[in-house]
Amino acid sequence: MSSWLSGPREALENQGVDFGYRGERLGLPAEGPGSVAGFGRRLGALMIDWVASLLLVRLAFSNLVPTSANASGTNSGYSLMVLVVFGLEVAVFTWLASSSFGQRIVGLSVVRVDGSRLGLGRACVRAALLCLVVPAVVWDRDSRGLHDKAVGSVCVKAR
């Protein structure tokens, strides 16, 4: 019962299994710049990127903004446009600056496992998988989501 309450990782650690720190298998430092980014910072960056996309679509495409006249209160064209703008923003900024707008604000960077920058193709695939949501919420013990594993990238602290 105790392994169920504490979780499988803690149960194995109590048996002497050493998992090491996040990013150790990738050759990354345990702390500081270049170490694997934590969940809170990544979630904060995602929320900043999403809000920026919402604001941009609201400003640039005001004709798609849902109105009170719409019985359901939503507009699928508006929702799709926000997702497209989000995906483009993440892909282009990750390709050009190694971090999206939100990641830049919270001090994160996306690099390949070998430390080099992502190319345009990898940045686009990563952004598309991020837009699908599920690959981003399934991650390994190094905190790399399936979207990162698919393109050989890792989200690290930039500062």
Digitized pLDDT (tens) for each residue of the chain, 159 residues in all: 455 566 666 776 677 776 778 888 888 888 989 889 888 999 999 999 999 999 999 998 777 665 554 545 556 778 899 999 999 999 999 999 999 999 999 999 999 999 899 999 999 999 999 999 998 888 888 888 999 999 999 999 998
Domain limits at 134?
27-157
> Is 21 within a domain?
no
> Is 31 within a domain?
yes
> Is 13 within a domain?
no
For the chain, the domain total comes to 1
> Is 2 within a domain?
no
Quick one: which of 41, 20, 46, 44 has its CA closest to 136?
46
> Is 15 within a domain?
no
> Is 7 within a domain?
no
> Is 20 within a domain?
no
Q: Which two tokens stand for residue 3?
A: 């392994």
Map tokens 């969940």 to a residue.
39
Q: Is 34 exposed, middle or buried (0-12, 13-18, 19+ CB in 10 A)?
A: middle
